[in-house]
Amino acid sequence: MKTPRILASLLAFTAASFALGTRAAEAKKANAPEWAELFGGAALPVVWQSAAAASEKIDAALATKKLDGVADWAETIHLASHALEDQVKVDDAERAKRLKAAFEQAAKIADDVINAANHNEAGKAADAQRRLKSALALAKARMPKEILYAPKQETRFAKSAGHAHDEKGDH
């Protein structure tokens, strides 16, 4: 009765292979940058346009003194800032350094917007948004023109468990 032993060995080998493959996929996901889930594989114009659109949505929400969606849009800007910081290549070393710093600043300030929105502090959110727009303007001044002036793309927005948005980021 060698057949049951062969089947048992085959099953054990298959299970072990599956477990290794699952662990490898988990390890790859753990090593991926935080922005990869939203912007992995996206063209750089998509990332930039998503950040710009999210900033406009924050402005519109704050103008009505409503914070619904603001944290998600600020998270979009946070992730986009890191994605652009990691991926945009600029030949001029000084310009590249300043671009990186602008994106780092934008990501940190986006966290301030998120925090204010999560604590229902419209005034603090508006102040942080003004600073965030300045950081994005600094980055824009140093961005490659082919990213800035690319044809309009389908934008992507972060979604939290607390807010359900459609693909355009609206409720």
Mean pLDDT of the chain: 86
* pLDDT confidence bin for 155, thresholds 50/70/90: very high
H runs (alpha helix) in 88-170? 93-118, 122-142, 145-148
Residue 169's pLDDT is what?
Answer: 38
Residues ≥6 apart with Cβ < 8 Å to 40 = 32
Compute the distance between CA of residue 171 and CA of residue 160 in angstroms, rounded to an integer: 12
The band of 31, judged by pLDDT with boundaries at 50, 70 and 90, is: confident
Q: What percent of the chain has pLDDT over 90?
A: 74
pLDDT tens per residue across span 66-119: 999 999 999 999 999 999 999 999 999 999 999 999 999 999 999 999 999 999
3-state helix, strand, coil in the chain (%, to 5): 70, 0, 30
pTM of the model: 0.78
